[in-house]
């Protein structure tokens, strides 16, 4: 069973089409939301918060954060360092995410196997 696709976020789409750091999924500078508000003053703060949470919580972003040492501004220029603790947190989050996916997949396979076994039993007793 596949997970439903996540709904597109218009603000995130706008950020991705406007700024290199989002296009390339680079680790973002701390406080980037303030810079975005300066460059795009009419952006809704609540919608920006949701878009940033979606972006920084994505597997792609977490992978970038887990392996990088530098944060970047909107234009892709270096803008600070990523601490070892921040990299570790990203790796831990990814590991937990992958473990949950593996557990869910295993449970789905077990449920499918039980269903197949039940169908075999039904067929066995129909034959009698």
72 and 78 in contact (C-beta within 8 Å)? yes
Between helices 45-56 and 59-67, what is the axis angle to 10°?
70
Question: pTM of the full predicted structure?
Answer: 0.75
pLDDT digits (tens, 9 = 90+) for 62-114: 999 999 999 999 999 999 999 999 999 999 999 999 999 999 999 999 999 99
C-alpha pair distances (Å), 43 with each of 30, 74, 101: 19, 15, 34
CB contact burial 68-102 (16+ within 10 A = b; e otherwise): beebbbbeeeebeebeeebbeebeeeeeeeeeeee
Residue ranges per structural domain of the chain: 10-97
Q: 9: pLDDT confidence band, cut at 50, 70 and 90?
A: confident
User: Domain 10-97 is classified in which CATH homologous superfamily?
Assistant: ProQ/FinO domain (1.10.1710.10)
Classify 80 as helix, strand or coil. Answer: strand
E strand residue ranges, the chain: 70-72, 78-81
Q: What is the pLDDT of residue 103?
A: 94
């Amino acid at each position: 069973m596949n997970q439903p696709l996540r709904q597109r976020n218009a603000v995130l789409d706008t950020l991705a089409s406007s700024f290199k750091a989002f296009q390339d999924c680079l680790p973002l500078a701390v406080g980037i939301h303030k810079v975005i508000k300066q460059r795009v003053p009419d952006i809704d703060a609540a919608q920006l918060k949701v878009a940033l949470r979606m972006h920084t919580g994505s597997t792609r972003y977490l992978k970038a954060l887990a392996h990088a040492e530098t944060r970047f501004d909107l234009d892709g220029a270096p803008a600070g360092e990523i601490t070892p603790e921040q990299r570790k947190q990203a790796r831990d989050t990814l590991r937990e995410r992958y473990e949950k996916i593996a557990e869910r997949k295993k449970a789905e396979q077990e449920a499918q196997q039980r269903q197949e076994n039940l169908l075999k039993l039904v067929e066995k007793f129909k034959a009698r």
